[in-house]
Structure 1
């Protein structure tokens, strides 16, 4: 739990050292770049100074704001795609370093732009490429840390493990790590063996595995999870928070955008550090999605009935009932941020990393990132037009998808907390008799007993059993 996760093998105290935490913290900061981008771009494109400098008017604001936000997602999509092949060739460390360098170039281009929208677009594409690569590589890197370093470089790998674990290479814990890493590489070689060696053979082998029963439904589950994540309104609020907050009568949109982001960040930290391994994955998504839907239904109803933005635009003032309704709507948005933080915000990333065998996770991380950025591109590109055409209906649109997410997670999302890969195979029907297109949400008693017997045999043979 927390900073000292319990393993199924004796864990020396030295493993929990500042080096490991520092490495993890540095690697994880790459994800902050995505959060930073989504936080600043929404308020930037709504500022009067930005509108004036880049000659943005009411007639072209929807098109330009749509382009500025969506080219980032387009770049991120291709960044995630290219990341797979670059990682296979150079490893995760160099992939991250190259990505950060690309991000810096893009940031410099946007800062240097004065009246040239072309520089803004180009900078957004480059920063998107970096964020796409990071979302595809950071989760796996955090989970594995040193696996890429061992490829034909045993001595260097031993030094890395000694440094990270703070133990000598002769220690049984390090030797077991080395065994697991080699076993993982052998599994990857086995996936590629039908088609030869190298990245292309591995790619073809992964596609072959994905086409099998018990793998197809996992691939589709990842697609559904990230699609529902991006169509539930959070990304839209991130990128277009000034527009959305204005629609409920808020004038200081920058302040409330900051408060919204802070609430979401703090809630996420509390849940994922303290509760995710106690409560699990499935139930939080069910509760979160339903609560978020209720919040957005209220906000949409308030905008429909009171229409505060139109009153303020006409130079009028809000009545006391209108004002109180706006305060309640603002509170609903903040409650939405709290509930969203322990549901579809991070659970899709956790589940997508847990349900696949280790040999496939480099590719499945890329697949998850591709779905994430493709669906986010669609919603960020279309949202300005949706808001112009639908108004309050935009809030109902997102609330409707959250109701779908509630039903989907109840019916189709399995609980993956603490399950082994063998138990995942049972849940999804991989190498199991009969037809099982829909993953079971829990193991039956007979399946659990059978799985335990299988695991004991495997444990005796390998002296270690990996739990996700």
Structure 2
């Protein structure tokens, strides 16, 4: 099996790790390409001379310009926040597959509206289109991790959900480089800045087309009582016969989980809301999932994604193309390290150690960058970077090396795993909404932070570094290791104390349960043979 050989929750046929489950995850992850591309292209597009000239940015005061840029970027996150909750109802009533189709259409509509903007029409079409596109990406950011987690074998669940993150980085890589390419090869014009906006239609179109091929989540079908279709889809995804022991066990686990939820939480649309209101343990799980995205955004990643020219200017990078080139290299580093995380780290090292190690190393880098900028504010920098400036750029890329294989995608993996069947959709909606809420705050106020937090915005780096230190304490005491835990055992995982030992305790229980199930199945088989 090569790199597919991983620690399994139970004996697993090699057929389970087949191309279909990877293909479904990859097709669904065109949604994250939409998100990644936007997070990367918008900041550099706002810095294109052709864009700033057409919308007369040079005539605006620094305060007004910061507000305009913040509004252009952040209305997208505001739409995504509400889209996350819209997707809960859609995913519950029409399923994961049809929901992806619906919101892909909405995203394409929004992306198309943005193309109507111009000097005569103003920025209105961009604002309106980004709100609609934001609703689309917010919804898909809630649905896709759930869908992938529900179809994934436990041993590669982190890797498959990680494909979602890989799509994010591939989209981001294109977004980081596109404006460097067009600024190098196209003269400033209306068409020059319109091209990066038009490219959004590509990943959205791929998701729209691919959603027709996807098979609906078997877990959602079982939850809706559509057992025949659920079994058929499960066998198709696993490439196993309906009578295979692995399929029988998986169906038994799903049925047991659904029965337990029916007698405790309930299976209706409003039942998870009621469960949250009356169950402190469920509230706690929602809190943990949402806080992971506070710490993720508190690391500074989205300030860098959305305002990379501002960030690199604070370090001393001058000139449009130099800034775009530095941003492009940042995108390359992120993408390469994401695949390292995806194929070698997430299901080997687990979630906890990645989060804590990434935060520890990243905070040191941010403190060093902030200290350099404090001693060498932009106004004192020459046209060429000093040795100190080169060192600051090195630590920036080193920060990227710590952040990317830890906080960049791991919170999405944990949130896709940590909720039971009946609260998973609402839990993921809450997690996605939290992500977009904190994302909105960062994107809305980053320009003002750089204007007001110390010389050249050095205080911004100290702030992000301190947030990363606090995240280590949060993870150590409150986040259990979810690696290898079946989805149906997540409730038990979050009950075990201390948190650091929860994974080991639950995995022991899972193996004991599986052995009891196997012995019982063998006895049933022997009795049937005797009767025949």
TM band (smaller chain):
0.7 to 0.9
Aligned twin of 2:89? 85
TM-score, normalised to structure 2, is 0.76
* 2:10/2:511 contact within 8 Å kept: no
Match of 1:219 in 2: 286
SS in 2 for 1:38: helix
Closer, same or farther: CA 406–453 of 1 in aligned 2, 3 Å: closer
Matched with 2:395 is: 332
Structure 2 unaligned residues grouped into runs of 5+:
152-216, 521-532
Q: Which residue does 2:247 correspond to in 1? A: 174
Structure 2 residue corresponding to 1:367, chosen from 430, 434, 450: 430
CA contact (8 A) 2:221 2:229 kept: yes
Find the aligned partners of 1:284 and 1:346 in 2 and give their Cα distance: 10
Superposition pairs of residues 52-91 of structure 1, within 5 angstroms: 52-57=53-58, 58-59=60-61, 60-91=64-95
Separation in 1 of the partners of 2:485 and 2:405?
Answer: 20
SS at match of 2:387: helix
User: Contact 1:280–1:416 (CA<8 Å) still a contact in 2?
Assistant: yes
SS of equivalent residue, structure 1 residue 7? coil
Q: 2:449 corresponds to which residue?
A: 386
Pick aligned residue for 2:129 from 117, 123, 129: 123
1:124-273 equivalences under 5 Å are 124-145=130-151, 146-147=217-218, 148-150=220-222, 151-193=224-266, 198-200=268-270, 202-208=271-277, 211-212=279-280, 214-251=281-318, 252-273=322-343
**1:104-144 alpha-carbon deviations (Å, 9 max, x no partner):** 11111112322321110111111111111111111110021
* Residues paired across the two proteins, number: 441
- The answer to whether the 8 Å contact 2:372/2:392 transfers is yes
* Change beyond 3 A, Cα 1:329–1:128: same
1:152 CA drift (Å): 3.8
Shift in CA distance, 422/142, structure 1 to aligned 2, threshold 3 Å: closer
CA displacement, residues 221-247 of structure 1 (integer Å, 9 cap, x when unaligned): 223221111111011100000110011
CA contact (8 A) 2:7 2:484 kept: no
> For residues 130 and 463 of structure 1, do their structure 2 counterparts lie closer, same or farther at Cα, with a shift above 3 Å needed?
farther
- Quote the Cα distance in structure 2 between the aligned partners of 1:131 and 1:368: 14
User: Which stretch shifts more, 352-361 or 23-32?
Assistant: 352-361
Checking the alignment, whether the CA contact within 8 Å between 1:16 and 1:165 is kept in structure 2 is yes
Q: How far does the alpha carbon of each residue in 1:259-298 deviate from its partner, in whole angstroms, 9 at most, with x for none? A: 1111112112102321222222222222211211111111
Q: Specify which of 106, 121, 127 is matched with residue 102 of structure 1.
A: 106
Q: 1:457, 1:278 → 2: CA distance? A: 24
Instruction: Work out which of the residue numbers 451, 468, 480 in structure 2 matches 1:402.
Output: 468
For 1:37 and 1:328, locate their aligned partners in 2 and report how far apart those are by CA, in whole Å. Answer: 29
Q: Distance in 1 between matches of 2:389 and 2:255?
A: 59
Identify unmatched segments of 5+ residues in structure 1: 431-435
SS across alignment from 1:291: helix
CA distance in 2, matches of 1:418, 1:12: 16
Query: What RMSD in Å do the two structures reach over aligned CA positions?
Result: 2.8
